[in-house]
Structure 1
Amino acid sequence: MIRKASNTNEDVLMLQKLAKKTFYDTFAYENSEEDMKEYLETAYDFDVLKSEIECETSDYYFYLDGNDAVGFVKVNWADSQTEPDYPDALEIQRIYSLKEYHGHGIGAALMEHAISVARKLKCPMMWLGVEEQNKRAYRFYTKYGFKKVGTHVFMLGEDEQHDSVLVKNLED
């Protein structure tokens, strides 16, 4: 089941725990412990997450297995997008599931939900950034019709990384 995250302490804490774990499990193997620690403490700070949830132009959605959040997606539109290049688009800023749930259709369900949000908002396209070495995620996105249009910088602590920017046209 997919449910929109609320600004309750319970939801913010659930998101914080899930976000830190999934990000760490996905990227710790290729980044320094210092950079990971700085990013996790900054990007997934309780107050940062609470303000993102309360923002009128971004939403978090949980994928629940019973009462447990095992995946999530964050979507941004309008001024909440992390890049200004696609002002009418919906950005998927984050989409993750716990490692033990990979291959169970959670990513697909979250992606379909994000697409439905974009359509409801009448966005002509969607975009996201994906780490260039993350072949599994890259294949997943291209399966949904996302195509590489460029790159952008993603700062992980002190490390400047380059992500591919992928775009999906919703008007086809």
Structure 2
Amino acid sequence: MIISKATETNIPVIQDLANKSWNSAYAHILEQKQIDYMLGLMYSESTLKTHFENPNYQYYLINEDEVFLGFIGFEFHNEPDTTKLHRIYFLKEAQGKGLGKKALEFVKSETEKSGDKRLTLTVNKNNNAKRFYESQGFKVYDEAIFDIGNGYVMDDYLMEFIIDK
């Protein structure tokens, strides 16, 4: 597995991976119209360019045998002493290979290097990924419903991992 820093030139790769992974991961949780809306909102070229312009926002691509299998996006200092994991997605065929665990270890390490002491993320209440995050040391610290427009909401658990120094 190779984790490489993404650049603006990788936006089409990120969009393709997001489209494929979201349609696999959320098909049983969300309506297709909501998936399409959220992909358009969160992965438009202008949104991704804004992320790349933010020096605290990091994107990394994950590949194996020169094939892109997933990506991660996180933001240092999203809150005081806190890095937020915004995105971690893998293609369906990449799941079960331990790549998610390795990617999370990478994000934890980068969080520690940044000086942040806490790593947070949100996960849909109906998403089985919650169990995966718990197995990696994350704990639920709150719940929230976020209005994302167009009549849609995200009903999520807020999870955190405390960096031990």
TM superposition score normalised by structure 1: 0.87
- State the match for 2:7 in structure 1: 6
Q: Offset at 1:31? A: 1.9
Residues in 2 aligned to 1:109 and 1:91: alpha-carbon distance in whole angstroms? 17
State yes or no: 1:103 paired with 2:102: no
Q: Offset at 1:56? A: 0.5
Residues in 1 aligned to 2:53 and 2:12: alpha-carbon distance in whole angstroms? 14
- Does the CA-based 8 Å contact 1:36-1:157 persist in structure 2? no
- State the match for 1:59 in structure 2: 58
Q: Offset at 1:144? A: 1.6
The code of the aligned residue for 2:3 comes to I
- State the match for 2:137 in structure 1: 145
Q: Offset at 1:68? A: 2.1
Q: How many residues align?
A: 163
Greater share of strand residues, 1 or 2?
2
Residues in 1 aligned to 2:158 and 2:136: alpha-carbon distance in whole angstroms? 14
Q: Residues 116-131 of structure 1 correspond to what in structure 2 (within 5 A)?
A: 116-131=109-124
Residues in 2 aligned to 1:115 and 1:125: alpha-carbon distance in whole angstroms? 9
Q: Residues 1-172 of structure 1 correspond to what in structure 2 (within 5 A)?
A: 1-8=2-9, 11-78=10-77, 81=78, 86-135=79-128, 137-154=129-146, 155=148, 157-171=150-164
Q: Offset at 1:127? A: 0.8
The code of the aligned residue for 2:111 comes to A
Alpha-carbon deviations, 1:65-98, whole Å to 9, x = none?
Answer: 23321011111122xx3xxxx4211111111111
Secondary structure, counterpart of 2:133 in structure 1 = helix
Q: Please list every run of 5 or more consecutive structure 2 residues that lacks an aligned counterpart in the other structure.
A: none
Residues in 2 aligned to 1:29 and 1:142: alpha-carbon distance in whole angstroms? 21
- Does the CA-based 8 Å contact 2:101-2:136 persist in structure 1? no
The Cα RMSD (Å) is 1.6
Q: Which has the larger displacement, 21-30 or 54-63?
A: 21-30
Residues in 2 aligned to 1:104 and 1:28: alpha-carbon distance in whole angstroms? 22
Q: Which has the larger displacement, 120-129 or 151-160?
A: 151-160
Alpha-carbon deviations, 1:130-158, whole Å to 9, x = none?
Answer: 111112x1111111211111012243752
Q: Please list every run of 5 or more consecutive structure 1 residues that lacks an aligned counterpart in the other structure.
A: none
The code of the aligned residue for 2:135 comes to K
Percent identity among equivalent residues?
A: 27
Residues in 1 aligned to 2:134 and 2:31: alpha-carbon distance in whole angstroms? 29
